[in-house]
Chains A and B, each alone.
Chain A
Amino acid sequence: MNTESRMNPDTSRAPVSQKPQVIHPHSNEGDVGALVRVNIDGQEIKVPLGTTILEAAKRLGIHIPTLCHHADLCSAGLCRICVVEVEGMRTLQASCAYPISSPMTILTHTRKVRSARRHVVDLLLSEHVGECYTCFRNNNCELQSLSKEMGVTHFRFGQRTEHHHKPDNSSYSVVRDMDKCVLCRRCVRTCIDLQEVGVLEACHRGSETAIETFHDKPLGEVVCINCGQCINRCPTGALRANDPTEQIWHLIDDSTKHVVIQTAPAPRAAIGECFGCAPGTPLTFEMNTALRLCGFDKAFDTNFTADLTIIEEGTELLLRLHRALVQGDKEAALPQFTSCSPGWVKYLEHFYPEYIPNLSSAKSPQQMFGAVIKTYYAQLHGIDPKDIVTVALMPCSAKKYECNRPEMVDSGHKDVDFGLTTRELAQMFQEAGIDLPNLPKSEFDDPFGTATGSGVIFGATGGVMEAALRTVIEVVCGIQVENLFDHADIIPLRGFDGIRYVELPIRDVGPVIPMFKPLVDSWSWLKGATLKVAVAHGTANAKKVMEDIKAGGRLSECHFIEFMGCPGGCIGGGGQPIPTSPEIRAARAKAIYAEDSSYKVRKSHENPAVLELYTKFLTDGPCGHLSHKLLHTHYQARGRFIA
C-alpha cells in the first residue's frame, strides 16, 4: 500500500470544505471499522464504514465518471459529475465525497443522474475555450473524454471562443492558460495540500471564481518551486510545461550545431505510457534508437553524472563529517541535504533559506553533465563548445528553471541549454513518426554512456541515498554492500512512506582508496560511529523534516538527508506522462529497480568512466579545484516575500 500522498486530515492544510471529514457514527450504526451493506444498481456489497460511494461502486466494477476527484488528493465534491441517486434523498449526492455510514440503496445512471451529468459537462464546455486541435492535451483531456462519455453532440449553452486571459508564460517551467481552466481545484489541492507550497488558490466567487496566484501575479514572480505537480493533475490544458521542442527541432536541423541529449533514468520508465504501454514499461534502449532517428547527434546517460554526483556529494559529506568529528568545527553544516532536485532546492531557498549551508554544493546530475560536455567532451572531440547544444531529457519541469539559473554557466557557456520533459520528447517522437515501443534497442554513446545501477535508482525516492550508502559502505567500511544487504538492495530506503530513517553503524573501517588519498589518510575517525540518514519526498514531507530539524528532533541528528521535490521522487516528476497515481508511480519505480538489478556494475565508485574522468580531467580529485569550479554551485536565499 502506498501511503506517500494520502492526505492526513489532521495536518492537511487544504480548505476544510475539501477535506475528508471524520465520520462519528451514531452508536446504533456500529463501530468504526464495522461493515455497512450497500446496494448499488441492484448489486449488494458490504463496505467498511466511511467508504465513499465512489469507492464502493469501484469495488463492484461500476464506473462512475469523475473530474475533480484525484487519487492523490483529498475529496472535494465540487464538479458534481459523479452525482448519484440515493434512495430516500431529494437531491443527488456526489459519490466521491459521500461517506457511507448507514445501509443505503444507490442508483448510478437514472434519468435524473444522466441529465445532471450532461448539464455539468454542458456548463463546463460553455466556459472552456475548447481549442482542442491546438491543445497539448488533445486526446489526453479529461473534459474531452467526459464529453464523449456523456454523449455531448452540441454546445447546448454555447461555446466560449473569445479569450479572457493571456497565457502566463512568465515561468521557465509552468505555463498557465486560465481560459482552459474548469475550476476542479486539483491544482489548488496539489499545491497547498500535497506539496504545501501554496501558490494557487480559488479566488473571488460566483461566476467570477478563478484560480489565481497571490494577487494574480505572474507565476514567475511568486513563490513557485516549479515542481509541475499541478500540471500532472490538471484534467485539461490549463497548466502545461514551457515547451522548448520548436527550438530544439530548429537546432537539430542546423547542421552547424552538435546537439547532444542526456537522458535521466525516470523518463525511460514512463515514456511508454505516451505510446499506450503500461506504466513501468522500460524503453531505455529503444529510446536511444529513437533519439538518433530524431536527429540528436549523441545520446548520453545522465546516470553517468549521477554516479559523479555520488562521488562529489559523498566526498563533501565525508569532508563535513571530518570537520565536525575530527576538527570539532561546529560550523560544519549537518545534516547535509541533497541538491539534485531543483524543486526541492528552490523550496528550501524560499522557505528555509537559513539552511542553505546544509545544502550540498554539488550540482545536480543534469548540470554536472552540461558542464562536463561543454568542457571535457568538447576538448576530447575538438568541438567548439559554443556549437554544442545540450538538451536534458528530464521527468521534471523544474529542470527547465534550473538550467536557466544565472549561475549555471561554469563551462563559460550556458551549461545546459534546454530541459525537455518526458511528455515533450514523446511528442517529438510522434511528430517524427517514430514508433518507440517497437524500435530495435541500441546502446548509449560513449564516453558518457557508462552508468551503474546506482545512477539508475536516482529516479525513485530513496535512490540517491541508496546509491550513496552503497559507496560509503564499500569505500569507508571496506566491505561489500552485499555482506549487509542481499543483492546490494537497501530495502529500508525503498518504498513510498513519506519519510524514511535508517541508521548504519560503522563497525570497522577499510583502507583509503586512491581516489580519496588526497583528502584523508585514514577512516579510523569514523570507526564506531553510526551514520544516520533519512529520505523524504514531496515538499510536504520535506517540510515535516525541516520542522523536525528546526525543533531539534530526531532528524536533526541525521548526517545526510535525501530530499526530492516530487511525490515518489523523479518517477513522479512534473514532466512525466499524465495521468499520475500512486499505482502508476509504483509501477515506474519497479521498472527503475529492475533496471538497477540488470546492471553488472551497481556502485557509483566502480563506474569506470567516472574513474577515467578523475584520472584524465578532474585530476585534483573529488571536491578538488576543477570539480569545484565545474561541478559545484551556490544558492540564493530567496525568502517568501513577494514584491
Chain B
Amino acid sequence: MLVLEREGLGRLIRELCDRHGRSRPALLPILQELQETQGWISDYAMQAVARHLDIHPVEVYSVITFYAFLNSEKKGRFVIRLCRTISCDMRDKDRVARQLEQELGVKFGQTTADGRFTLEWSNCMGMCDQGPALMVNKQIFTQISPERAHEIIESCRRIYALYPERSEDTALEAAGAVQVLAGPLALEARS
C-alpha cells in the first residue's frame, strides 16, 4: 500500500473511532463503515482499528470472519449475492445462478479477473415471497429471472463506467438502471 493511501486510511479510521467511540461496542459500526467505503477491511485497517480500540488485531479479524457482510479480502466492485435458501431455491434460483455464472464467467465464490464482480451465495434475506432474490452490495432485488439477472449485471457495468471506484450504494439508484425495491412487498396487489 502506498504511504499516502495508508495515511488517508489512517485518518479515516481515526475519524470513525472519534465518531463511534473507542470501546468494544463501537467495533461493528466502525468495521461496517470501513466495509462500505473501502469495499473490504485490509490488514492495515484491522490493526489500526485494533490499536484505537485497544484490542488485539486477531480479535478484529475474528469478528470480521464471523459476519457475512464483512470481509478481510478484497472483493469485486459489485458483490452479487444470490439467495439460496429454501423459498428462493423452490423458485428456481438455480436457473438464475447459471445465468449469473455464464454472464460473469466465474463460479460462485469467485471474483472476475477485472475485479468488477464477486459472485456469492447468501442465506435467506427475508424476501421469501418474492424469490428468487439477490443483493448487489447492499441493495436487494427480487423476483429475479435469468433475463432480469442479465439486466442487473448490465446496469452494474454502466454504473462502473460512471463510478469505477466504490462509492455510496446510492449510485446503484442514481444510475437509474435498476429498480430498487425499497419498501415491503406490495401487499395490496395480492390480497
Residues of chain A whose beta carbon lies under 8 Å from any beta carbon of chain B: 13, 192, 197-205, 212-215, 222, 640-642
Expressed in whole angstroms, the Cα–Cα distance for A206 and B157 within the complex equals 34
Expressed in whole angstroms, the Cα–Cα distance for A641 and B57 within the complex equals 9
Q: List, in ascending order, chain A residues with CB within 8 A of B46's CB.
A: 214-215
- Per CB-CB distance, the 8 closest pairs between chain A and chain B, nearest first, are A198-B56, A201-B62, A203-B65, A214-B58, A201-B58, A204-B65, A214-B57, A203-B62
Q: List, in ascending order, chain A residues with CB within 8 A of B51's CB.
A: 640
Expressed in whole angstroms, the Cα–Cα distance for A47 and B65 within the complex equals 41
Query: Given that A640-B47, A640-B51, A642-B43 are contacting pairs, would A212 and B66 also be in contact in the complex, using a CB cutoff of 8 Å?
Result: no
Query: Given that A212-B58, A214-B61 are contacting pairs, would A205 and B66 also be in contact in the complex, using a CB cutoff of 8 Å?
Result: yes
Expressed in whole angstroms, the Cα–Cα distance for A198 and B61 within the complex equals 12
A202 B47 Cβ-Cβ under 8 A = no
> Who on chain A is nearest to B57 by CB?
A214
Of listed B43, B47, B65, residue having the most chain A CB within 10 A = B65
What's the minimum C-beta distance from B72 to chain A, rounded to whole angstroms? Answer: 6
- Please classify the interface of chain A as helix (H, G, I), strand (E, B), loop, or mixed, using the class held by over half of its residues: loop
What's the minimum C-beta distance from A165 to chain B, rounded to whole angstroms? Answer: 16
Query: Given that A13-B55, A192-B56, A198-B56 are contacting pairs, would A212 and B61 also be in contact in the complex, using a CB cutoff of 8 Å?
Result: yes
> Who on chain A is nearest to B59 by CB?
A201
What's the minimum C-beta distance from B70 to chain A, rounded to whole angstroms? Answer: 12
A213 B58 Cβ-Cβ under 8 A = yes
Q: Mark B34-52, 1 if CB is under 8 A from A, else 0.
A: 0000000001001100010
Expressed in whole angstroms, the Cα–Cα distance for A640 and B58 within the complex equals 12
B58 A200 Cβ-Cβ under 8 A = yes
> Who on chain A is nearest to B68 by CB?
A205
Query: Which residue of A205, A215, A640 is within 8 Å of B43 (Cβ)?
Result: A215
Expressed in whole angstroms, the Cα–Cα distance for A500 and B173 within the complex equals 64
What's the minimum C-beta distance from B35 to chain A, rounded to whole angstroms? Answer: 16
B59 A215 Cβ-Cβ under 8 A = no
> Who on chain A is nearest to B62 by CB?
A201
> Who on chain B is nearest to A204 by CB?
B65
Q: List, in ascending order, chain B residues with CB within 8 A of A204's CB.
A: 65-66
A202 B55 Cβ-Cβ under 8 A = no
Q: List, in ascending order, chain A residues with CB within 8 A of B56's CB.
A: 192, 197-199, 201, 214
What's the minimum C-beta distance from A162 to chain B, rounded to whole angstroms? Answer: 21
Expressed in whole angstroms, the Cα–Cα distance for A205 and B123 within the complex equals 14
Q: List, in ascending order, chain A residues with CB within 8 A of B61's CB.
A: 201, 203, 212, 214-215
- Please classify the interface of chain B as helix (H, G, I), strand (E, B), loop, or mixed, using the class held by over half of its residues: helix
Q: List, in ascending order, chain A residues with CB within 8 A of B58's CB.
A: 198-201, 203, 212-214, 222
Expressed in whole angstroms, the Cα–Cα distance for A640 and B59 within the complex equals 14
Expressed in whole angstroms, the Cα–Cα distance for A202 and B64 within the complex equals 11
Expressed in whole angstroms, the Cα–Cα distance for A487 and B47 within the complex equals 51
What's the minimum C-beta distance from A215 to chain B, rounded to whole angstroms? Answer: 6
Q: List, in ascending order, chain A residues with CB within 8 A of B65's CB.
A: 203-205, 212
B72 A215 Cβ-Cβ under 8 A = yes
Q: List, in ascending order, chain A residues with CB within 8 A of B47's CB.
A: 214, 640-642
| A-B contacts, 27 listed (Cβ < 8 Å) | A13-B55, A192-B59, A198-B55, A198-B57, A198-B58, A198-B59, A199-B56, A199-B58, A200-B58, A201-B58, A201-B59, A201-B61, A203-B61, A203-B62, A203-B66, A204-B65, A205-B65, A212-B58, A212-B61, A212-B65, A213-B58, A214-B57, A215-B43, A640-B51, A641-B47, A642-B47, A642-B57
Expressed in whole angstroms, the Cα–Cα distance for A85 and B58 within the complex equals 37
Expressed in whole angstroms, the Cα–Cα distance for A202 and B56 within the complex equals 13
Of listed A198, A215, A222, residue having the most chain B CB within 10 A = A215
Q: List, in ascending order, chain B residues with CB within 8 A of A198's CB.
A: 55-59
Expressed in whole angstroms, the Cα–Cα distance for A527 and B57 within the complex equals 48
What's the minimum C-beta distance from A305 to chain B, rounded to whole angstroms? Answer: 35
Of listed B47, B55, B57, B66, residue having the most chain A CB within 10 A = B57
Expressed in whole angstroms, the Cα–Cα distance for A547 and B55 within the complex equals 15
What's the minimum C-beta distance from B99 to chain A, rounded to whole angstroms? Answer: 28
Expressed in whole angstroms, the Cα–Cα distance for A215 and B61 within the complex equals 6
Q: List, in ascending order, chain A residues with CB within 8 A of B72's CB.
A: 215
Expressed in whole angstroms, the Cα–Cα distance for A222 and B58 within the complex equals 10
Expressed in whole angstroms, the Cα–Cα distance for A201 and B55 within the complex equals 12
Expressed in whole angstroms, the Cα–Cα distance for A204 and B70 within the complex equals 11
Of listed A199, A201, A641, residue having the most chain B CB within 10 A = A201
Expressed in whole angstroms, the Cα–Cα distance for A13 and B50 within the complex equals 13
Expressed in whole angstroms, the Cα–Cα distance for A438 and B56 within the complex equals 48
What's the minimum C-beta distance from A635 to chain B, rounded to whole angstroms? Answer: 22
Q: List, in ascending order, chain B residues with CB within 8 A of A640's CB.
A: 47, 51, 57
Of listed B51, B55, B58, B61, residue having the most chain A CB within 10 A = B58
Q: List, in ascending order, chain B residues with CB within 8 A of A641's CB.
A: 47
11 more A-B residue pairs beyond the given contacts A212-B58, A212-B61, with a C-beta to C-beta distance below 8 A = A198-B59, A199-B56, A201-B62, A203-B65, A204-B65, A205-B65, A212-B65, A214-B46, A214-B56, A214-B61, A215-B43
Expressed in whole angstroms, the Cα–Cα distance for A192 and B59 within the complex equals 9
What's the minimum C-beta distance from A226 to chain B, rounded to whole angstroms? Answer: 16
Expressed in whole angstroms, the Cα–Cα distance for A201 and B59 within the complex equals 6
Q: List, in ascending order, chain B residues with CB within 8 A of A192's CB.
A: 56, 59
Expressed in whole angstroms, the Cα–Cα distance for A580 and B56 within the complex equals 26
> Who on chain B is nearest to A201 by CB?
B62
Q: List, in ascending order, chain A residues with CB within 8 A of B57's CB.
A: 198, 214, 640, 642
Expressed in whole angstroms, the Cα–Cα distance for A205 and B57 within the complex equals 18
> Who on chain B is nearest to A213 by CB?
B58
What's the minimum C-beta distance from B64 to chain A, rounded to whole angstroms? Answer: 9
